[in-house]
Amino acid sequence: MEGSPERRQGGEGGGDVAASWWRDGVFYQIYPRSFADTDGDGVGDLRGIIDRLDHLEWLGVAGLWLNPTMPSPNEDWGYDVADFTAVHPELGTMEDLEELVAEAGRRGMRVLLDLVPNHTSDRHAWFQDALRGRDAPHRDFYVWADAAPDGSPPNNWESSFGGPAWTLDEASGQYYLHNFLPTQPDLNWWNEEVREAFDEILRFWFERGIAGFRIDVTHGIVKDRELRDDPAATPEDHPLVQARGLKQQFSMNRPEVHDVLRRWRALADAAEPKRILVGETYVLDLDQLVPFYGNGEDELNLAFNFLFVHAAFEAEEMRTVVEGVEARLPATSWPVWTGSNHDAGRLATRWAQGDAARARLALMMLICLRGTPFLYYGDEIGLPDVPLDPADALDPVPRRTGKAERNRDPCRTPMQWSAEPGAGFTEAGVRPWLPIGDAASCNVAAQREDRGSPLHLTRDLIALRAAEPDLRGGGYETLPAPDGAWAWRRGEGHAVALNLSGAEVTVPDLRGRVAIATERARDGEQVEGSLALGPWQGAVVALEP
Ligand code: GLC
């Protein structure tokens, strides 16, 4: 699936990066339960995605990432996998999935599945076997340990979803590890049999034509062999690490993870055509992020950048993260930029605080940085999080942690296709699995009729990226900009200027023509030496040679 052998300019080092579909294109993340329901049960399904491929082709995306599609008791909505080589019946059949891959392919789009190698569901046959006792064949597929001498759990590790990361199995008297829910036992990646089982799982899906995987909790799969205590966070740590209390230095983030990634990359590269690996690399420090690319060609193809996801939508903070990535990434590695996902929430709410102009600016930023953008379903229409009562949460996290703000349901609500009852997601009168937001004020059908909409802006930006080599492979260079603004050059011939503030700004030293402005009436405007931008406005400028 590599594209032409054309080489491109890399980061500030002026490296050399091969053009390829996954570097050039824009990805689109689909939460299958919430995209389109074709069988009237209020839950989205694979056939619904097939039905909506025309929308995605029209939008111009190159790749789809589907949140988990495998059988699951849904205690963590698919992230508790009971069978790694099948399709969850609520979502459809293996034939549906194969048809989806083929139909997407016909439209020039490739499909990534979500792989969850850190843990399984407690209902998985491996864990059911492991529970049979210390000598069970799959016992060592999981992480077991005896109680501490005082009878407490083996060490101080805490679950990311609240409480201790250990649960006692009374029958055998040992504890098993779960960095997430007690119904999500962690796999033991020191066991060669686990590694071999996953080799088979990767091959199984590659044979079904998927283009690769988004890999859940990539940073966490290998645990400290000696199960040492995690240290306390310090004031130097990222605020989100401090909020956690402990630094996940031994419960996750072990250096041996790179052996596994090299192994998977060899499998992905050996497939014909080559497949790609995109990691959920949840580290909040760029020096920890960069190693997930290995030497640039032997580990992940793309490593999600959570420092960027969690950066304030503010010029200096965003620019600092991007400059940090540009300075650190090996010349053969490629950045990835995201503003929304099924955990962090939607950019229209998180970054834009419900302000339409800011959401448009965020879309321009994501699509015009050097790297691969991942849009989350609904980003293209500026879909906000839907306010929901945490008391009704289907997400287990707010209940377990007692933190209402950790409810992830608001960013997982159904796609809003139209203003009709059911929002085009499901039939009128059907109760959707999560409530639908205000579809009258934000939906695909209405925005398709409106050239000034976020939907058309997104589509036009994607088309501009596809048309202009600068916006795909061109190097990034920060340009001078006043406080509150951020400007950069892409390649030789394009500049992007964003005003991330509520004041008017003037970006100096620009000469050319506005290719696309967030304020669409300004498309085509001549830029004669400087560009004035109103509050939360941005523009891509085709520079005069
Ligand atoms: C990842 C997923 C998240 C899930 C967790 C546990 O962070 O993105 O949705 O709850 O892993 O599998």
Residue 80 CB less than 6 A away from ligand 1? no
* Distance between CA atoms of residues 208 and 114, nearest Å: 14
Q: Catalytic residue at 280? A: yes
Per-residue pLDDT for 131 more than 70? yes
- Ligand 1 centre to CA of 474 (Å) is 33
Residues 257, 263, 266, 267, Cα dihedral to 10°: -120
Please write the tens of the pLDDT for every residue from 164-216.
999 999 999 999 999 999 999 999 999 999 999 999 999 999 999 999 999 99
- With beta carbons less than 8 A apart as the criterion, state whether 476 and 490 touch: yes
- Find the catalytic residue in 76, 280, 395, 470: 280
Any ligand 1 atom below 6 A from CB of 343:
yes
Tokens of 18: 């091969």
DSSP string, 70-130: S----TTTTSS-S-TTS--TTT--HHHHHHHHHHHHHTT-EEEEEE--SB--TTSHHHHHH
Mutation test of ligand 1: which of 113, 179, 180, 338 has the most ligand atoms closer than 8 Å to its C-beta? Answer: 180
* Residue type, position 205, single letter: W
Q: What pLDDT shows up at residue 1?
A: 39
535 burial (CB, 10 Å; 0-12 / 13-18 / 19+) is: middle
CA 195, CA 256: separation in Å to the nearest integer? 13
Distance spanning both ends of the chain, measured CA to CA: 34
Give the span between the Cα atoms of 293 and 301, in whole angstroms. 7
Ligand 1 atom nearest to 179, measured from its CA: 6
Count Cβ atoms below 10 Å from residue 171 Cβ, excluding itself. Answer: 10
Distance 138 CA to ligand 1 centre (A): 24
- Dihedral (CA of 170, 171, 177, 178) sign: negative
180 lines ligand 1 (CB under 6 A): yes
217 lines ligand 1 (CB under 6 A): yes
**345-404: pLDDT as tens digits:** 999 999 999 999 999 999 999 999 999 999 999 999 999 999 999 999 999 999 999 999
Q: Which atom of ligand 1 is nearest to the CA of 397?
A: 10
79 lines ligand 1 (CB under 6 A): yes
**Which residue from 454, 425, 218 is spatially nearest to 340, judged by alpha carbons?**
454
| Token duo for residue 63 | 């790749």
* Spatial distance between the Cα atoms of 71 and 69, rounded to a whole number of angstroms: 7
DSSP string for 223-245 = --TT-PPPPBP-TTS-HHHHHHS
CA 510, CA 541: separation in Å to the nearest integer? Answer: 8
Give residue 265's region: left, alpha or beta (phi > 0; psi -120 to 50): alpha
Closest residue (by CA) to atom 5 of ligand 1?
79
pLDDT at 14: 38
Q: CA–CA separation, 351 vs 467, rounded Å?
A: 28
Catalytic residue among 122, 186, 216, 326: 216
Average pLDDT over residues 115-122: 99
Pocket test of ligand 1: the residue of 33, 341, 343, 376 to mutate, having most ligand atoms within 8 Å of its CB, is 343
Phi-psi region of 78 (alpha: psi -120 to 50; beta: other; left: phi over 0): left
Q: Does the beta carbon of 65 lie inside 6 Å of ligand 1?
A: no
Average confidence (pLDDT) over 538-543:
99
Whether 536 lines ligand 1, by a CB cut-off of 6 Å, is no
Q: What is the Cα–Cα distance from 341 to 395, expressed in whole angstroms?
A: 15
Residue 493, pLDDT > 70, answer yes
On the question of pLDDT at 8 being above 80, the answer is no
Distance between Cα 284 and ligand 1 center (Å): 16
d(CA 77, CA 81): 9
CA 8/CA 471 separation, integer angstroms: 11
Protein residue closest via CA to atom 12 of ligand 1:
79
State yes or no: is 216 an active-site residue.
Answer: yes
The pLDDT value recorded for residue 12 is: 40
The answer to whether 205 and 211 have CB atoms below 8 angstroms apart is no
Interval between CA 396 and ligand 1 midpoint (Å): 11
- pLDDT over 90 percentage in the chain: 97
pLDDT band at 18 (very low <50, low <70, confident <90, very high): confident
User: Ligand 1 mean position to 68 CA, how many Å?
Assistant: 10
- Ligand 1: which atom is nearest the Cα of residue 282? 7
- Whole-angstrom Cα distance, residue 136 to residue 134? 6
Distance 220 CA to ligand 1 centre (A): 11
Q: Across residues 494-505, what is the average pLDDT?
A: 98
Cα–Cα distance, 206 to 110 (Å, whole number): 12
Distance 185 CA to ligand 1 centre (A): 13
Q: Is the shortest distance between the CB of 158 and ligand 1 below 6 Å?
A: no
> With bands split at pLDDT 50, 70 and 90, how would you rate the model's confidence at 17?
low
pLDDT tens, position by position, 35-85:
999 999 999 999 999 999 999 999 999 999 999 999 999 999 999 999 999
Distance of CA 242 from the midpoint of ligand 1 (Å)? 20
Distance CA 149, CA 130 (A): 24
282-300 pLDDT, tens digit per residue, is: 999 999 999 999 999 999 9
Q: Is the pLDDT of residue 526 over 90?
A: yes
In short, whether 75's Cβ falls inside 6 Å of ligand 1 is: no
User: From CA 25, how far away is CA 466, in angstroms rounded?
Assistant: 7
What was the pLDDT predicted at 11?
42
